[in-house]
Structure 1
Amino acid sequence: MGESSRPAGPVATMTAEPRSTPLWRVAASCLVGSAIEFYDFLIYGTAAALVFPAVFFPGLSPGVAMVASMGTFATAFLSRPIGAVVFGYFGDRLGRKKTLVATLLIMAMATVGVGLVPSTASIGMAAPLILMVLRLVQGFAVGGEWAGSSLLSAEYAPDGRRGLFGMFTLLGGGVAGIMSSLTFLGVNVTIGEYSPEFLQWGWRVPFLISGVMIAVALYVRLNIDETPVFAEEKARNLVPKTPLSELLRLQRREIVLAGGSVLGSIAFVYMGNTYLAMYAHSHLGYTRTFIWTVGALSGLVSVISVVISATLCDRVGRRRLMLIGWAACLPWAFVVIPLIDSGKPVLYAVAIVGMFAINGIGSGPTGAFIPELFATRYRYSGAALAVNLAGVIGGALPPLIAGTLLATYGSWSIGVMLAALMSVSLVCTYLLPETDGTTLRAPAPVSSVGV
């Protein structure tokens, strides 16, 4: 945790230094960039649940088409660890800013590409294959986004306020949920949910809009300087040649536990945004308009919850709030499916909004907590690898196997799965130390003369 002669050392005080980039601009960069990148990622999940079965898998039965569609969604999580390794290397070697600009551009090209893919009716099986390739590229880019954005805010933030500034990366996810739901909702209401035009071209609009929004995020990110922590590391020739090998040699335990600490949270987010939305539409007959309205409300509640939790964690500690959040999510995992299965729209809204509200309590401190676990020399690699390995298990598998669990054991088994994943997060968080007060800078080199 933090820095020491072993790069996970004792708590120390970081001295304030002049910064060439104002903190508000750093916060804006983290929020805008993260929101747009995760907007790109989430609109794919929304479309995979509610649109792609008809557009790209029209020859399959509804159930098989849904599995195939969710399969393309899950492929991105396979490339996320690869992105974590690649962008972690460049982030630890070249700097946080350059790497984040690269992730933004790659994500933009892939997302706009999804919006331009012809349907299966037009070009046959080449359509879902192209879709899958672009989805892998999306996952590759996102593999470097969360870690880089959280490091940007954490390494700029002054002592005592790292939790506050770390929240902006987390807020990006909530804002992305609002944006993706409202964009689809706007297109849906304008064109008509059941009109042929919606399935022909209307669903493409949210993807193409991403190309316009990317200019805003790119401008913001290009107008910030490298973090003072990394700049100091580079000036002192402390940048490692092989950050990943050092990370795996010195902090394997932290990678596993840090990933485990967010496993349940990732599952809650992606189940809420994808599978449960599909379940409500196909099994309960709720309209897309209603589902997207609930999605926008969930994003808003998530933002509020994260703000409260991230702000408090500078006073009461990161780990404590995470434990409270995960402990509250555990019983909610068993409540979600019965609420949805009640068939009452208001209870569906309570179930989904409740997932995001409670999850926000636990996830709010993670923007500061996870970077604080790793040394500067390989902090980007450590944070990226931990979160994206967790994403494979928590983000890809639950939506993919939920349908099989439903058909084999009944809907109650989905709640058991969510509870099991959240239990892992609870245990892993408990096993990690409190990081509040940790310095993010390496100590001054110790002379070896006379040793």
Structure 2
Amino acid sequence: MTTNAPLTLDQSSRPGENSTARIALASFIGTAIEYYDFYVFATAAALVIGPTFFPKGSETVQLLSAFLTFGIAFFARPIGSALFGHFGDRIGRKSTLVASLLVMGISTVLIGLLPGYASIGVAAPVLLCVLRFGQGIGLGGEWGGAALLATESAPPGRRAWFGMFPQLGPSVGFLVANGLFFGLALVLSDAQFKSWGWRIPFLVSALLVLVGLYVRLKLAETPVFAKAMSEDQRVKVPLFETLTYYWRPVLLGTLSMVVCYALFYISTVFSLSYGTSAMGYSRQEFLGLLCFAVLFMALGTPLSAWACDRWGRKPVLLLGTLLAALSGFTMAPLLGSHSIGAVALFLVIELFLMGFTFGPMGALLPEIFPTQVRYTGASISYNLGGILGASVAPYAAQLLVAQGGLAWVGGYVTAAALLSFIAVLGLRETRDISLATER
């Protein structure tokens, strides 16, 4: 083991380096845009994807088909992790972040232009699956690069706080996506929304991507990676190196992420579908509740990041996963109460805990891997967690609620949280390590 001195990171005083403001903005804005794109599809899947892109028939079958299409992106994300991680660990963080943003943006805009089943038949769901796969590839490469940009440029003792900025992106992306759907629900009739209105959020992505590209093209490479390049620490095949020598942190990092995904997609995609179909809420009512609740997710994210820099990653995550396990027991009495106040309380609890468990991951996952495989290792862990925690979550919840009611879906949340709790127990504390240390 070779120990290198920690880097001195005074970005504001060195020409050609990233200022702290630029780091925060670039790591935040990219994930916000990419998650906006991702959540636009998730919301559409709960509302219109089924009847638009699949044959007429049972509404349940159409909804399940839409949720299966939703899940495709999660299986694409580890592929995106390996692809973009390879280049991110070989040529740098900046170029890879620009490419991932383009892949996601193009896929999202094309979904907004794609004709439905009534126009082109079976080609519609096939092309939808291809483009959804493209969204997954783009997002698979996005998060790791954004997290590394933030953590590898952070001042000493503030890595979790800087790693929080890409973690805020999902909250803002979700709020903008659902806020846009909420606005459309207010100004368009149901027929107008289902005919063409749902496409508007997909097309808006083109403008957001241009903003993100402008910010990211002005970045300099992170000092930790620049130092690794100067010392020729790069490896030929980062994926092989990661899975051969760092499989244990990959496994524990993956399982640690499961709780975040389960909390989010059960409380948003499944709850939106269940609330509008089984509970009689209008589309705009439930979207309004979600927009309110996601503010608490945005609150939980910086709160947990601050706590992580003060007390360490493990104590904060163990507390968050334990509370998340207990929250599964609130699903049936709150979400199933048909009281708008109780439903709002359930959504607030789940999304706050999602933000609380999600905030530390921006620092933790990069910290458990060395520089030469950090992009690949952190990205794969993050996105494999999506396969386990989110890809089948809305689909499984739909089946569980049909078989045993909301209590069974709450049990799904509890099981996911306990799995992450056990994984966090197996991780070492990383608050005080140096990212410039070769391990």
Distance 1:401 1:261 in 2: 20
How far residue 32 of structure 1 moved from its aligned partner, in angstroms, is: 0.7
Deviation, structure 1 residue 367: 0.5
Counterparts of residues 397-408 of structure 1 (less than 5 Å): 397-408=392-403
For 1:301, the equivalent position in structure 2 comes to: 296
Amino acid aligned to 1:352:
L
* Distance in 1 between residues matched to 2:371 and 2:293, nearest whole Å: 35
Output the amino acid matched with 2:19.
Answer: P
The structural deviation recorded for 1:50 is 1.1
- The correspondence of residues 84-233 of structure 1 with structure 2, limited to 5 A, is 84-192=81-189, 194=190, 196-233=191-228
Q: CA deviation at 1:337?
A: 3.0
Aligned residue type for 2:193:
F
Question: What amino acid is aligned across from residue 128 of structure 1 in structure 2?
Answer: P
CA deviation after TM superposition for structure 1 residue 297, in Å: 1.4
Mapped contact 2:68–2:392 kept (Cα < 8 A): no
Contact 2:104/2:138 (CA < 8 Å) preserved in 1?
yes
Maintained 8 Å contact 2:178/2:291: yes
The residue number in structure 1 matching 2:77 is 80
Residue correspondences, number: 435
What is the one-letter code of the residue matched to 1:15?
A: T
Contact 1:154 1:165 in 2 (8 A): yes
Partner residue, 2:354? 359
Alignment counterpart, residue 389 of structure 1, candidates 384, 404, 407? 384
1:69–1:232 CA distance, 2 compared to 1 (3 A): same
Q: Which residue of 2 aligns with 1:449?
A: none
Q: Which residue is 1:288 aligned to?
A: 283
In the TM superposition, residue 353 of structure 1 has moved relative to its aligned partner by 1.6
Match of 1:240 among 226, 235, 238: 235
> TM-score, normalization: structure 1?
0.94
What is the DSSP-based 3-state SS (H/G/I as helix, E as strand, rest coil) of the residue aligned with 2:18? coil
Q: Is the Cα–Cα contact under 8 Å of residues 39 and 174 in structure 2 kept in the other structure?
A: yes
1:115-150 deviations in whole A, cap 9, x for unaligned? 011121122221111111100010011111111110
User: Equivalent residue for 1:319?
Assistant: 314
Match of 2:40 among 19, 43, 50: 43
CA contact (8 A) 1:239 1:377 kept: yes
Shift of 1:373: 0.5
- 3-state SS in 2 of match to 1:118: coil
For 1:177, give the aligned amino acid: F
**Matched residues in 2 for 1:406 and 1:249: separation?**
40
Cα deviation digits, residues 336-362 of structure 1 (max 9, x gap): 232111111221111112101122222
User: CA-atom RMSD, angstroms?
Assistant: 1.5
Give TM-score, length-normalised by structure 2: 0.96
Contact 1:298 1:352 survives alignment (8 Å): yes
1:146-194 CA deviation, whole Å, 9 max, x = no partner?
Answer: 11110110000011011111100110011111111111111111113x2
Report if aligned partners of 1:230, 1:376 keep a CA contact under 8 Å in 2.
yes
In structure 2, the residue matched to 1:269 is 264
The Cα shift of 1:415 comes to 0.9
Q: Deviations over 1:188-231 (max 9, x none)?
A: 11113x2x211111000000001011111110111110111101
Which residue of structure 2 aligns with residue 448 of structure 1?
Answer: none
Q: Which moved more, 1:71-80 or 1:245-254?
A: 245-254
2:209 alignment partner AA:
I
> C-alpha distance in 1, partners of 2:186/2:285?
11
Residue identity in the other structure for 1:30: S
Which of 279, 284, 288 is equivalent to 2:274? 279
How far apart are the structure 2 equivalents of 1:21 and 1:358?
Answer: 32
Q: Output one character per residue of 1:84-113: Cα deviation in whole Å (capped at 9) or x when no partner.
A: 111111110011111110000000000001
* 1:376 equivalent in structure 2: 371
1:15 maps onto 2:12 in alignment: no
Q: Distance in 2 between matches of 1:11 and 1:388?
A: 30
1:348 aligns with 343
**SS of alignment partner, residue 156 of structure 1:** coil
